[in-house]
Structure 1
Amino acid sequence: MSTTGAHAVSTTPTEKSFEESHPKDSGHPRAHAAPHDLLDVMEQGTVQVDEPKILHGWNVKLEKLLGVEARGIERVLEADKPPKATFADFVQIVLLWFSANLTLNNLAIGLLGPLVFGLGLTEAMCVGTFGTIAGAMGTAYQSTWGPVSGNRTMVVARYTMGWWPSKICVLLNMVIMLGYGLVDCLIAGQLLSAVAGGSMTVIVGTIIAAVISLVVALFGIKLFHVYERYAFLPQILVLFILIGVAGPYFNAGSTTAGLGTSVAVADRVSFFFLSASAPLAWCPAASDYFVYFPKNCARIKVAASTLLGLGLSSVIMVLIGVGLGSGALVKTEWADAYDVSAGALVVEALSPLGAFGNFCSVVLALGLIANNIPGTYSAALGFQLLGRWFRVIPRWIWVIVSVVIYTVCACAGRNNLFNIFEDFLALMGYWTIMWCTLTLEEELIFRRKIGYNWDDWNVPSRLPIGIAALIAFCIGWVGAVLCMYQVYFTGPIAKLVGDGIDLGFPVSAAWTGLLYPPLRYLELKHFKR
């Protein structure tokens, strides 16, 4: 085992061996001047890695020959970044989030407003819009850590959760990213199968979506950014067509059932937090895609760019979903199609266009790949964060493993796993708001004056113990369980309002936020870190 420009180690690697000397930005071995184009920042063999020589050699060769990103979770030093970002770079942030979320999985959330929560079209659109923006704000905040630290999002989590507790967050994030990969591929497979009239099976459609996701995520950040720069174009055109064809059937006169009662209040609140959960689920991966941006990027600009791209695209899809859901309540053909799948409902809505409508459905199906690629990329990084033996395997190999896992699961459980994972991912979303709360408090209360030493990213002895964060995190989970309102469980507190109200998000965040400051103060007092 060797490191580039570092020292050789012949003993069996352990977690303890992570405590190694860390290079300063000015002492980066073979540092090179990075070109201004952020997408052309390539390591060319200068990355500090723990891979065996043969793996590192192949990594460098693949990078030079094919442009495959060699870097995994290793920190991007300032010497590997351009001197400053331009306006075009912030436009790239907007387009990345816009393309990745102008997809049918977000449309499916809007459907639930009228069809599950019984909200009228106008009210569902208003609640869904504000909920989506609220969730996007959390991800916008977390996205700012990439340029500032040069570290991936779950590496930054070590500065709040500590070395070992942060691995819990890594596992939870991997479940979210791989779970959404499963959902995205299944929706694409269902849509392609519906368009083909059954001549193409859901399995074949799922594999097609997975293979394209694999190719882009495999090459890494450069191809990933280029793909997301243009992926929204066919999507937005087809969505305009969908609105034109289906819009006349949106039930604008629908009203919320039981308006003014506790049931209606509970349904509004539950749909609000459900709408917030989708954009908020990007929190644990938000800065993964911007580690090559220079440190002097204004954080407010990075956050605003993320909020604009993520919020706008998610709101558009939720609004269209609400419209289709309201129409399904009065149009029998749409209701029958929705009983098959959300994808079948979209195909039915476009059916008046005939063959061209089928073509539009295919475009929307393949658009899900834009949502799947970032999750696959981040899931692969998550594997490397689990431990030293995982880290010695290059990022691109973990991309292949990630795609194989969710593709096999999607194909094997296509009849049942979709609904199971949709419900389970809603539960997994609770932890993101708790972790976001912990990160915000750590920065504003305990790091306000001392700041962060990003060189310590891989040195356990210089990171927080994580006891305070772990206890607050666990207590927050108790609040989430007591106040959740899901298909499989309704907490005792959630039962007190209407038929059930989902307060898992605000209660878990509040309990975590109240407990962390005093616990962290005690941790600093006794452990000094």
Structure 2
Amino acid sequence: MVRSQLVEDNISIREKNDGNLKDGILIESTDDVFEQGNTWPAKLQRLARKFKIEQRGIERVPENERTDINGVINVGTMWLAANMAVSSFAIGALATPVFFLGFVDSILAILCFNILGILPVAFFSTFGPVFGLRQMVLSRFFFGYYGVKIIAVLNILTCIGWACVNTIVGAQLINAVNTNVPGFAGVLIIAVATFIVSLFGYKVVHAYEFWSWIPSFIIFLIVLGEFAHSGKFSNLPMGVGSSEAGSVLSFAASIFAYGSGWASYSADYTCYQPVTISRTKVFFSTFCGLIFPLLFTQMLGATVMTASINTPEYAESYATSGIGGLLAAVLFPPLGKFGQFCLVILALSTVANNCPNIYSVSLSTQVLAHQTARVPRFVWTLLATCCYIAIAIPGYSHFESVLENFMLIIAYWLAIYEAVSLTEHFVFKKGFGGYTPEIYNQPLRLPPGIAAIGAFCFGVFGAVMGMSQVWFIGPIGKHIGGVYGGDIGFELAFAFAAISYFLFRTLEYKHFKR
């Protein structure tokens, strides 16, 4: 029996758990050593247990601890709450002011590219109950023990970036309710509330998300009703020609990035599900939990934003307070004080949207090195919170440009991640039966990662060829959408990464036999 199997059987190997690489096996912390000794991590873990804070980090969840009693309901409501949020509304609202799209083309892009974006999220969610591993740890089976560290860094940046974007939207809403509350105060309110929920870990995050979508959904229905009653909808015509094609593709990349942005931490929220749960149920629970709020909020955002073209008060409110001002223009005149209350509820929906980011960023940080894995998860949660507060406050007044550029870049690297992971799973692993989860912490038995890193570089090349950013338009992208180009970076990134990975991995496997 190899040493990692002894860990899984909870046999004490504390005297060997010094973090050194021996026989190709790196022993990571396990339940029986969480609180042992007088080191500061051990003391913090004892403090965590006292306050019922989740102590487990990237260690594999044993089968006897995968006892999430609510099953697939917890899975679906997790993503329902995380996306029934004002930041999702803001994504749809970008269609007109940023990408100059009409109404019908905006709606079609939202529908098609959300479906495309969330399919990988739903698929990776099925890995959690089977293996009891977090998404970044699972990624070692695709990128290797050392190669995954690059992916973990990108995921950390993604989590921090999303947290900034989401928090800025919520702060704008608070400012729209009371202009005496400056942007930095709104950022602090939302960040602290998010930290409190994320601090306690998996169970508390799921418990919060289980209910928090309900008031947000009710308020969005009120927004829909009030806007429909106002009669200010403007059916902006669809454009034509290469400029229209470029705008649709660039907006589609933003939609894809938002929906697919959860893929790099999908399994984090199913790893406590029973191993006997149906993978099909997990897949469709995740898919439904994502698709409904994404389509509803983004289509609502695109619809409301159409009024800003022909309604001066909408345009002025949006120019003054961003998305918060736009929603205030819909709710304040007819609803008065109750409209302000509705905006506060929507601002707090950002907490549900941010919790997955701030919970998962700690797990990605632990993957970076043995030293970071020894630091308790909740410490990284605190540090990540401080980090995105420091970024969100100065970024408050530049929301649209930050959001557009950030989301497009996310689409690029996530497309590469999904290309490598899906190719490995279906072509080389040939499904779930090709995994040996016990070797998740054994570098010499995992894929070397050379092929994955090579494919990643080719994927980046594809993204550069097809991107259309303010600061750079790729040679292919510039031929898609006229003067301003059209962004097909994530499509090319996926294609380049998948094809090159298949070729590189074939050679790698023949040489290394793993």
2:310 to 309, 315, 330: 330
2:494 to 509, 515, 524: 509
Mark the CA change 1:300 to 1:48 in structure 2 (over 3 Å): closer, same or farther. Answer: farther
Spell out, residue by residue over 1:272-327, the C-alpha distance to the aligned partner (whole angstroms, 9 max, x if none).
Answer: 23212101011101110111112222222111111101111111111111112211
Contact kept, 8 Å, 2:34 with 2:55, in 1: the verdict is no
Partner of 1:318: 298
Partner of 1:339: 319
Contact kept, 8 Å, 1:179 with 1:425, in 2: the verdict is no
2:73 to 72, 88, 91: 91
Q: Distance in 2 between matches of 1:312 and 1:118?
A: 25
SS at match of 2:393: helix
Task: Letter of the 1:193 partner, please give it.
Answer: N
Q: How much has 1:393 moved relative to structure 2?
A: 0.7
Task: Letter of the 1:349 partner, please give it.
Answer: V
1:262 to 237, 242, 262: 242
Spell out, residue by residue over 1:470-511, the C-alpha distance to the aligned partner (whole angstroms, 9 max, x if none).
Answer: 111110110111101223321111111233111111111111
Q: Distance in 2 between matches of 1:421 and 1:239?
A: 22
Q: Distance in 2 between matches of 1:231 and 1:81?
A: 24
Partner of 2:195: 214
Q: Which moved more, 1:295-304 or 1:228-237?
A: 295-304
Unaligned segments of structure 1, at least 5 residues: 24-44
Alignment size in residue pairs: 500
State the TM-score, normalized to the length of structure 1. 0.89
Mark the CA change 1:457 to 1:244 in structure 2 (over 3 Å): closer, same or farther. Answer: same
Q: Distance in 1 between matches of 2:403 and 2:104?
A: 29
- Map of 1:409-420 to 2, 5 A cutoff? 409-416=391-398, 419-420=401-402
Mark the CA change 1:243 to 1:454 in structure 2 (over 3 Å): closer, same or farther. Answer: same
Does residue 1:110 correspond to 2:92, yes or no? yes
SS at match of 1:113: coil
2:348 to 351, 366, 385: 366
Q: Which moved more, 1:373-382 or 1:10-19?
A: 10-19
Q: Distance in 2 between matches of 1:144 and 1:279?
A: 17
Contact kept, 8 Å, 1:384 with 1:390, in 2: the verdict is yes
Task: Letter of the 1:404 partner, please give it.
Answer: C
Partner of 2:180: 199
1:240 to 200, 218, 221: 221
- Map of 1:279-298 to 2, 5 A cutoff? 279-298=259-278
Does residue 1:76 correspond to 2:76, yes or no? no
Q: How much has 1:226 moved relative to structure 2?
A: 0.5
Does residue 1:100 correspond to 2:82, yes or no? yes
Mark the CA change 1:327 to 1:440 in structure 2 (over 3 Å): closer, same or farther. Answer: same
Q: How much has 1:9 moved relative to structure 2?
A: 5.0
SS at match of 1:287: helix
- Map of 1:128-277 to 2, 5 A cutoff? 128-196=110-178, 198-247=179-228, 248-257=230-239, 259=240, 261-277=241-257
Mark the CA change 1:355 to 1:22 in structure 2 (over 3 Å): closer, same or farther. Answer: closer
Q: How much has 1:59 moved relative to structure 2?
A: 5.3
- Map of 1:396-407 to 2, 5 A cutoff? 396-407=378-389
Contact kept, 8 Å, 1:267 with 1:501, in 2: the verdict is yes
Q: Distance in 2 between matches of 1:72 and 1:136?
A: 25
Q: Distance in 2 between matches of 1:221 and 1:323?
A: 35
Task: Letter of the 2:195 partner, please give it.
Answer: L
Partner of 1:464: 447
Q: Percent identity?
A: 31
Mark the CA change 1:471 to 1:333 in structure 2 (over 3 Å): closer, same or farther. Answer: same
SS at match of 2:80: helix
Partner of 1:305: 285
Contact kept, 8 Å, 1:22 with 1:455, in 2: the verdict is no
Mark the CA change 1:384 to 1:20 in structure 2 (over 3 Å): closer, same or farther. Answer: closer
Mark the CA change 1:49 to 1:512 in structure 2 (over 3 Å): closer, same or farther. Answer: farther
Q: How much has 1:398 moved relative to structure 2?
A: 0.7
Task: Letter of the 1:487 partner, please give it.
Answer: V
Mark the CA change 1:11 to 1:516 in structure 2 (over 3 Å): closer, same or farther. Answer: closer
